[in-house]
């Protein structure tokens, strides 16, 4: 199947985060300056696994962790939910939605299969998954599309951290290169910024989302000040 340049199609119009197919993004011929997609990429793009097609029918409350990330490279977004078998510390379900392109759809589809197959992947192993692991299962992506495979991988780590927070396993939270605001819950300035972008506009909502300051109450004021700074920055 081929798409004309500039064309955008929606797989579903029911999703809050519809999926777009960017033109020239799939099924192109091999050769200089052309992009080639593996059979696996095409298959997962046209038949994505574990995709949330209708968010209105999707019960988020049944999931143990959620991660939302945006791509600095293209501005696209990914949202991913996990259910965890707490007794065995394995991921037993993984669902996702994206605004991303065909490569992001295929990458996240295969990622969702990888973490749930064979009884579910151990959480510690899932935390170590790299885009290269996803690319290996997909049979590769064109170089300019490799950044798309990072979206699902980052959203998965955020969902796992969210699960750790909700289940009060704060010591297991893995932070990535930002300033830690709350050492007990390992909340960073980046977490607070993202919570503001997701709608936290007062300290109650911020604490509901992040559990910031629930152990050391003195952190609350610092978190609130930072939240207000981000509200000012984004909403004036
Ligand atoms: Fe944005 Fe692929 S171009 S996710």
For residue 61, tell me if it sits in a domain.
Answer: yes
**pLDDT value at 236 more than 80:** no
Q: Are residues 140 and 216 in the same domain?
A: no
Phi and psi of 181, rounded to 5°?
A: -95, -40
**Residue appearing with tokens 């519809």:** 18
For residue 100, tell me if it sits in a domain.
Answer: yes
* Distance from C-alpha of 64 to C-alpha of 83, rounded to nearest angstrom: 5
**CA of residue 85 to ligand 1 center, whole Å:** 31
Strands 8-10 and 20-22, sheet pairing: antiparallel
For residue 3, tell me if it sits in a domain.
Answer: no
pLDDT digits (tens, 9 = 90+) for 185-231: 889 998 888 788 777 889 999 998 888 988 888 899 999 999 999 88
Residue 98 CA: nearest ligand 1 atom is: 4
For residue 175, tell me if it sits in a domain.
Answer: no
Domain containing residue 50: 8-167
DSSP-derived secondary structure letter, 1: -
Of 167, 197, 225, the position where a domain reaches its end is 167
Give every CB contact of residue 125 below 8 A, 6+ residues apart in sequence. none
Q: Are residues 35 and 134 in the same domain?
A: yes
List residues with catalytic annotation.
Answer: 74, 148
22 or 119, higher pLDDT: 119
**pLDDT value at 16 more than 80:** no
Domain count of the chain?
A: 2
Q: Are residues 206 and 156 in the same domain?
A: no
For residue 221, tell me if it sits in a domain.
Answer: yes
Q: Are 181 and 222 in contact (CB under 8 A)?
A: yes
Tokens of residue 3, six digits:
């798409």
Cβ neighbours around 180 below 10 Å, total = 14
**pLDDT value at 33 more than 70:** no
For residue 112, tell me if it sits in a domain.
Answer: yes
| pLDDT band of 72, cuts 50, 70, 90 | low
Strands 77-85 and 90-98, sheet pairing: antiparallel
Q: Are residues 162 and 190 in the same domain?
A: no
pLDDT at 10: 37
**CA of residue 104 to ligand 1 center, whole Å:** 6
Among 23, 148, 154, name the best residue to mutate to test ligand 1's pocket (greatest count of ligand atoms within 8 A of Cβ): 148
pLDDT digits (tens, 9 = 90+) for 106-119: 999 999 999 999 99
Of 167, 190, 209, the position where a domain reaches its end is 167
Among 74, 144, 154, name the best residue to mutate to test ligand 1's pocket (greatest count of ligand atoms within 8 A of Cβ): 74
For residue 2, tell me if it sits in a domain.
Answer: no
- Using DSSP, state whether 149 is helix, strand or coil: helix
What's 131's domain CATH number?
A: 3.90.1010.10
What's 196's domain CATH number?
A: 1.10.10.1100
* Distance from C-alpha of 226 to C-alpha of 232, rounded to nearest angstrom: 10
For residue 172, tell me if it sits in a domain.
Answer: no
Q: Are residues 137 and 229 in the same domain?
A: no
């Amino acid at each position: 199947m081929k798409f004309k340049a500039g064309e955008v199609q929606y797989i579903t119009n029911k999703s809050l985060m519809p999926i777009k197919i960017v033109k020239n993004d799939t099924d192109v011929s091999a050769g200089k300056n052309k992009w080639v997609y593996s059979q696996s990429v095409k298959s997962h793009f046209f038949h994505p696994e574990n995709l949330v097609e209708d968010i209105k029918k999707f019960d988020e409350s049944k999931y143990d962790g959620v991660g939302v990330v945006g791509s600095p490279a293209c501005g696209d977004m990914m949202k991913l939910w996990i259910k965890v078998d707490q007794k065995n510390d394995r991921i037993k379900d993984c669902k996702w939605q994206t605004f991303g392109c065909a490569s992001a759809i295929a990458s996240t589809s295969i990622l969702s299969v990888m973490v749930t197959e064979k009884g579910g992947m151990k959480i510690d192993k899932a935390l170590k998954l790299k885009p290269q692991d996803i690319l290996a299962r997909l049979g590769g992506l064109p170089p300019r599309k490799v950044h798309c495979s990072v979206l699902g991988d980052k959203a998965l780590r955020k969902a796992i951290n969210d699960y750790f927070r909700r289940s009060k396993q704060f010591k297991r939270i893995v932070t990535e290169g930002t300033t830690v605001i709350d050492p007990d819950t390992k909340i960073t300035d980046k977490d607070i910024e993202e919570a503001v972008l997701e709608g936290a506009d007062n300290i109650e909502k911020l604490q509901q989302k992040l559990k910031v300051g629930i152990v050391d109450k003195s952190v609350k004021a610092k978190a609130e000040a930072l939240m207000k700074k981000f509200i000012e920055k984004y909403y004036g």
